[in-house]
């Protein structure tokens, strides 16, 4: 994976980040989701390099081989604001004052917070399989709770650590096909889910989502905060975002002035399931008007 990429551990404040980067040209920060690592981008990143970008693929703080702060009672140590600050410091350390940001799943919430808090650093923003956390929770009904029950299970104290830790493969691996993921990516994913420290951090990510992250978004919404940078929204047609909410772009237009996007013929982990379509959509968005 990641031929000709540099692999480093970068220290930022209270975190150490495992990161891969390569290429030349405008910088693109790729932020993965749960329960993956930065390796999930291994098919997409080389295509972006070939298209003329510098591509940066960290393990998000607490995931994979990146380590962060100890959990706090209010979950602020794992808030998207805290993690977004880590990512900004990473990009500064690597010499990128301005850059594009791409996020999938939980990484998309970090990407959104990064753009809201540091919009002056961001050129374009792309979010996949994502609505703001507060928008999900405002619309939460029995159907949402049935489909996305894991949000509320992960938020419970201690219990999910015990359940997942008893057999991480039984919890995560049945839906992780090494043929689709790639053997090396799959091995990295399995190593991560067998680390209790990683599992705890991933759960804290969800706990922060229902608490402090939601509160931060509600403040932005009350202030009618809207992003002025171009926003690309993509969603997996074989996942349930569109089934739950209809056209996601309708909701996103309350959060950004320039919104475009469409569905991708993919299951949830689109960087692994539909890398060519994803890389093409990203390249078009990042190199031209993108409409």
Residue ranges, the chain, pLDDT below 50: 290-291
CATH code assigned at 193:
3.40.50.1820
Q: How does DSSP assign 176-212, residue by residue? A: --HHHH-HHHHHHHHHHHT-HHHHHHHHHHHHHIIII
What is the pTM for the complete model shown?
A: 0.97
Residues 205-229: pLDDT tens digits?
Answer: 999 999 999 999 999 999 999 999 9
Whether 231 is covered by a domain: the verdict is yes
Decide if 1 is inside a domain: no
At 192 the pLDDT is: 98
96 assigned to some structural domain: yes
Q: Classify residue 213: in a domain, yes or no.
A: yes
> Active-site residues: which are they?
105, 268
List of long-range contacts for 235-238, beta carbons under 8 Å, 24+ apart: 235/128, 235/129, 235/130, 235/261, 235/263, 235/264, 236/128, 236/129, 236/263, 236/264, 236/266, 236/267, 236/268, 236/270, 236/273, 237/263, 237/264, 237/265, 237/266, 238/265, 238/266, 238/267, 238/268
Taking alpha carbons only, the member of 79, 78, 126, 135 closest to residue 101 is: 126
pLDDT at 290: 42
Q: What does each C-alpha distance from 81 to 115, 153, 208, 209, 249 come to in angstroms?
A: 10, 23, 10, 11, 24
Calpha distance 219→42 (Å, rounded): 36
Backbone angle region of 7, left / alpha / beta, with phi > 0 → left and psi within -120 to 50 → alpha: beta
Residue 215 lies in a domain: yes
**Backbone φ and ψ of 228, nearest 5°:** -100, -10
Q: What confidence score (pLDDT) does residue 95 get? A: 98
**Residue 57 maps to a domain:** yes
| Maximal CA-CA distance, the chain | 49
* pLDDT at residue 288, as a whole number: 74
127 is a domain residue: yes
Positions of E strands within the chain: 6-12, 15-23, 27-31, 54-58, 99-104, 122-128, 231-236, 259-264
Q: Where are the beta strands (DSSP E) in 59-153?
A: 99-104, 122-128
pLDDT computed for residue 291 by the predictor: 39
Which domain range does residue 73 map to?
A: 6-287
Query: Environment class of residue 208 by beta-carbon count within 10 Å: exposed (0-12), middle (13-18) or buried (19+)?
Result: buried
pLDDT score of 44: 98
Q: Tell me the HSE value of 204 on the side-chain side, using a 13 A CA sphere.
A: 26
Tell me if 97 is assigned to some domain: yes
- The structural domain count of the chain equals 1
In this predicted structure, what is the pLDDT of residue 289? 56
pLDDT reported for residue 175:
84
Length of the chain: 291
Owner of token pair 């992003």: 227
User: How many other C-beta atoms lie within 10 A of the C-beta of residue 118?
Assistant: 15
Q: Give Rg (Cα) of the chain.
A: 17
């Amino acid at each position: 994976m990641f031929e000709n990429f540099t692999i480093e551990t970068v220290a930022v404040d209270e975190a150490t980040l495992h990161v891969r980067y390569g290429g030349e040209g405008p910088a693109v920060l790729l932020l993965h989701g749960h329960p993956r690592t930065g390796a999930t981008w291994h098919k997409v990143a080389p295509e972006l390099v070939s298209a003329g970008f510098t591509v940066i693929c960290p393990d998000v703080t607490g995931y994979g081989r990146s380590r962060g702060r100890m959990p706090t009672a209010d979950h602020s140590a794992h808030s998207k604001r805290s993690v977004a600050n880590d990512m900004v410091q990473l990009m500064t350390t690597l010499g990128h004052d301005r850059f594009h940001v791409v996020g999938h799943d939980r990484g998309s919430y970090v990407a959104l917070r990064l753009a809201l808090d540091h919009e002056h650093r961001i050129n374009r923003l792309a979010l996949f399989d994502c609505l703001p956390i507060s928008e999900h929770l405002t619309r939460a009904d029995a159907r949402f709770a049935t489909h996305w029950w894991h949000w509320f299970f992960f938020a419970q104290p201690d219990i999910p650590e015990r359940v997942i830790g008893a057999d991480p493969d039984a919890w995560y691996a049945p839906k992780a096909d090494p043929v689709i993921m790639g053997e090396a990516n799959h091995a990295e994913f399995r190593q991560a889910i067998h680390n209790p420290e990683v599992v705890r951090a991933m759960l804290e990510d969800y706990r922060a989502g229902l608490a402090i992250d939601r509160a931060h978004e509600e403040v932005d919404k009350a202030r009618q905060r809207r992003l002025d940078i171009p926003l690309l929204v993509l969603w997996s047609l074989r996942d349930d975002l569109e089934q739950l909410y209809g056209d996601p772009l309708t909701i996103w237009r309350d959060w950004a002035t320039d919104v475009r996007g469409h569905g991708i013929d993919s299951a949830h982990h689109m960087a692994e399931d539909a890398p060519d379509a994803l890389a093409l959509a990203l390249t078009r968005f990042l190199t031209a008007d993108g409409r």
